[in-house]
Amino acid sequence: MLSKKTKYAINALVYLARHADEQPIPVSRIAEERKIPLKFLESIFSELKNARIVKSKKGKYGGYSLNGGTDDIDLAQVVRLFDGAIALLPCATHDYYEPCEECLDETACGIRKVALEIRNATVASLKEATLANILAREQNLTR
């Protein structure tokens, strides 16, 4: 399960993508419209900015905007940023790799093979899910 933080982040980014014309948008507006606790969302945007997924404009009439096009931001980036590794097992991740303690031969481990299979499929789906792709899915009700 995704954490609330990740869910909030995704919702906020989709909101930014949907209002790409009127940016920058203040956090307060997103917090209100999407019913997300303001201070919590502020800290989320702080992390999104550090990760260069959004950029900010300070002061009055400031706010956040997407850093890059809606095609450049996908859910794999966001999930990794807030929830860490995507795989079910540390031995099946690329970025957060750790071997299992009692694994004699990792390349022969059946459990790991399942985990790798699932990880590959999940990452592929999450990478395909760019903000543009999510918006397109919402238009296209025939699914």
Partner DNA sequence: ATAATACCTACCAAATAGGTAGGATTAAAA
Partner DNA sequence: TTTTAATCCTACCTATTTGGTAGGTATTAT
Contacts to a copy of itself by CB under 8 A? 1-2, 7, 10-11, 14, 34-35, 75, 84-85, 87-90, 101-102, 107-111, 113-114, 117-118, 121-122, 125-126, 129, 133-138, 141, 143
d(CA 48, CA 42): 10
Nearer to a copy of itself, 62 or 121 (CB): 121
Q: Does 4 bind DNA (CB under 7 A)?
A: yes
For residue 129, the SS3 value is coil
Contact 137, 143 (CB under 8 A): yes
For residue 13, the SS3 value is helix
Site for DNA in 98-127 (CB under 7 A): none
**Binder of DNA out of 58, 95, 105, 141 (CB under 7 A):** 58
Neighbours of 79 (CB within 10 A): 21
